[in-house]
């Protein structure tokens, strides 16, 4: 019953100048088939000029339960933003 | 170890097994604490929903939410796949090359919709093979509408206009559904549906407004047969439907079945009038007080019978789906054998010959 081909994640560049964006996933026997299925499944209306496929199992992701700890260190570093610094009004172009 | 990196894991849990593990790990807490912890998590989960936050695959979610979504998304996916059959029936007999190209494109879109939806269901920990096996074994539900036959070319017009029209009414609110992958699949689907409805209405226009008398009658006959089953697509009345309240609390559903059905009737009646066709409902009338059309009772007995497998085409649809699955077996086996034979290319240091490396 459970004889699925490998799961691939599909990323598409909508047009040159843009980054590839995750659009979904599909099953395929190999990488070439994954590309061809991605073409048929996700670009029937010229949605892209380039496709990446990557086996889902090869992607590592952070754990949402750990998001607090993971992203917390950035929260108190407001000095990384330009608005942290007050500059007198008469100073221009800065 | 850096905080937050203790558990790096795959973006897809990919199988029920791994979800079971995740749930098991909740169970390792002391028994006296576990129920309270669970209730607290559920409360926090509902708060996220109430804030209109999206739930993503690896976020904690109550098991009932997961199961409700698996059931709904799978039924939806199966409907797209089985829905290819009644229309596919007319591809070889489309009256012109233009109509044929359009119908092929539409049927291919429906196959694509099925793929987006299976892929969304899989993020919840059910495998595609399992879903397919349920469908082929006749254990899965799909929309009752696809168990009606397509007897004439006008049925292809009526399906696009009414069936896709009803599907659009159902699907637009699902684009804002609380579960991220389902909502994103629905956005993609809704973008494609509008052409489906328009091409159907265009077929009806050609038959009903510029056609011969026989063609007008064919259009009216198609409307007569598809009207009530299309209204049934929205599901049982709110008083009957057990799932509605909870699904609305979870923001999987945004409107009740009856609200959506009413919207559909209000939108469709004037379109029928423009075609010069009459809706087969003697009780249909404009209600000035509510500013909606009032309509006659739906034969829910018929709906239940079709769901139970007693519709005109239930057996035929499943048989066609099984035959397609079986006759594709050698292709799948050949592809797998080919992939095995060439797997040394993939496990090497670079991509297989002929592939550009992602950069
Ligand atoms: Fe569809
Ligand atoms: Fe459609």
Between A and B, how many CB-CB pairs are < 8 A? 114
User: Which one of the ligands is nearest to B165 CA?
Assistant: 2
Name residue A53's beta-bridge partners: A10
Find out whether B168 and B190 touch, Cβ atoms under 8 Å.
yes
Minimal C-alpha gap between B3 and chain A (Å):
6
**pLDDT at residue number B344:** 59
Name chain B contacts of A1, Cβ cutoff 8 Å.
129-130, 133
The residue of chain B with its CA nearest to that of A32 is: B355
CB neighbours (10 Å) of residue B259? 15
pTM of the predicted model as reported, rounded to 2 decimal places? 0.86
- Whose structure tokens read 């099953």? A27
Q: Quick check: B4 and A27 CB within 8 A?
A: no
ipTM surpasses 0.90? no
If you measure from the C-alpha of residue B189 to the centroid of ligand 2, how many angstroms do you get, rounded to a whole number? 8
Interface check for A2 against chain B (CB to CB < 8 A): the answer is: yes
Run of H or E including B222: helix B213-232
- Whose structure tokens read 């509510």? B290
Coil/strand/helix, residue B15: coil
**pLDDT at residue number B19:** 30
Q: Quick check: B4 and A54 CB within 8 A?
A: no
Q: Quick check: B14 and A2 CB within 8 A?
A: no
Find out whether B335 and A29 touch, Cβ atoms under 8 Å.
yes
Q: pLDDT under 70 in chain B at which residues?
A: 1-36, 344-359
Find out whether A56 and B12 touch, Cβ atoms under 8 Å.
yes
The residue of chain A with its CA nearest to that of B181 is: A24
Query: Domains of chain A, with CATH numbers?
Result: 6-80 (3.10.20.520)
User: Closest Cα partner for B258 from B279, B244, B275?
Assistant: B244
**What is the per-residue pLDDT across A12-62, written as a single tens digit (0 to 9) for each?**
999 999 999 999 999 999 999 999 999 999 999 999 999 999 999 999 999
Name chain B contacts of A24, Cβ cutoff 8 Å.
116, 119-120, 184-185, 188
Run of H or E including A53: strand A50-55
- Whose structure tokens read 């850096």? B2
**pLDDT at residue number B35:** 61
| pLDDT bucket at A74, cuts 50 / 70 / 90 | confident
If you measure from the C-alpha of residue B73 to the centroid of ligand 1, how many angstroms do you get, rounded to a whole number? 13
Q: Quick check: A31 and B346 CB within 8 A?
A: yes
User: Closest Cα partner for B77 from B130, B126, B132?
Assistant: B132
**What is the per-residue pLDDT across B71-111, written as a single tens digit (0 to 9) for each?**
999 999 999 999 999 999 999 999 999 999 999 999 999 99
Q: Quick check: A56 and B352 CB within 8 A?
A: no
**What is the per-residue pLDDT across B255-280, written as a single tens digit (0 to 9) for each?**
999 999 999 999 999 999 999 999 99
Minimal C-alpha gap between B276 and chain A (Å):
34
Find out whether B122 and B128 touch, Cβ atoms under 8 Å.
yes
Interface check for A7 against chain B (CB to CB < 8 A): the answer is: yes
Name chain A contacts of B352, Cβ cutoff 8 Å.
30-32
Minimal C-alpha gap between B241 and chain A (Å):
32
Coil/strand/helix, residue B125: coil
As a whole number of angstroms, the distance between CA B220 and CA B272 comes to: 10
Tokens representing residue A14 in the block: 């909508």
Q: Quick check: B351 and A32 CB within 8 A?
A: no
Q: Quick check: A2 and B129 CB within 8 A?
A: yes
């Amino acid at each position: 019953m459970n004889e699925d081909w490998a799961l691939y994640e599909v990323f598409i560049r909508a047009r040159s100048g843009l980054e590839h964006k995750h659009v979904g996933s599909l099953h395929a026997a190999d990488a070439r088939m994954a590309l061809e299925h991605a073409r048929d499944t996700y670009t029937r209306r010229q949605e892209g000029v380039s496709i990446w496929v990557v086996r889902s199992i090869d992607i590592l992701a952070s754990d949402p339960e750990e998001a607090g700890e993971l992203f917390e260190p950035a929260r108190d570093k407001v000095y990384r933003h330009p608005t942290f610094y007050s500059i007198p009004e008469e100073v221009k172009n800065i | 170890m850096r905080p937050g990196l203790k558990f790096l894991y795959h973006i897809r849990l990919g199988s029920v097994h791994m979800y079971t593990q995740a749930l098991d790990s909740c169970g390792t807490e002391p028994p006296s604490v576990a129920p309270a912890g669970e209730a607290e998590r559920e409360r926090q989960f509902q708060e996220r929903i109430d804030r209109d936050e999206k739930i993503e695959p690896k976020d904690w979610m109550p098991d009932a939410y997961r199961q409700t979504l698996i059931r709904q998304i799978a039924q939806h996916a199966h409907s797209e796949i089985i829905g290819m059959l009644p229309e596919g029936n007319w591809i070889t007999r489309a009256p012109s090359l233009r109509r044929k190209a359009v119908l092929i494109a539409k049927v291919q879109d429906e196959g694509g919709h099925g793929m987006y939806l299976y892929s969304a269901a899989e993020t919840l920990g059910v495998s595609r093979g399992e879903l397919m096996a349920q469908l082929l074994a006749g254990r899965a539900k799909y929309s009752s509408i696809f168990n009606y036959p397509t007897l004439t070319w006008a049925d292809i017009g009526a399906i696009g206009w009414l069936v896709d029209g009803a599907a659009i009414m159902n699907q637009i609110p699902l684009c804002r559904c609380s579960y991220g992958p389902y909502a994103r699949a629905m956005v993609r689907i809704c973008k494609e549906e509008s052409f489906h409805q328009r091409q159907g209405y265009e077929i009806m226009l050609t038959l009903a407004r510029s056609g011969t008398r026989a063609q007008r009658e064919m259009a009216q006959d198609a409307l007569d047969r598809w009207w009530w089953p299309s209204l049934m697509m929205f599901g049982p009345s709110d008083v009957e439907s057990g799932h509605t309240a909870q699904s609305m609390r979870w923001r999987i559903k945004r409107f009740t079945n009856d609200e959506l059905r009413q919207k559909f009737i209000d939108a469709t009646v004037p379109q029928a009038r423009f075609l010069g066709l009459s809706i087969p409902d003697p009780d249909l009338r404009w209600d000035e007080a509510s500013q909606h059309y009032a309509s006659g009772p739906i034969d829910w007995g018929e709906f239940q019978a079709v769901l139970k497998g007693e519709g005109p085409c239930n057996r035929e649809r499943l048989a066609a789906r099984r035959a397609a699955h079986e006759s594709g077996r050698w292709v799948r086996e050949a592809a797998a054998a080919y992939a095995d034979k060439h797997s040394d290319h993939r496990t090497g240091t670079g991509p297989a010959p002929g592939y550009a490396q992602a950069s």
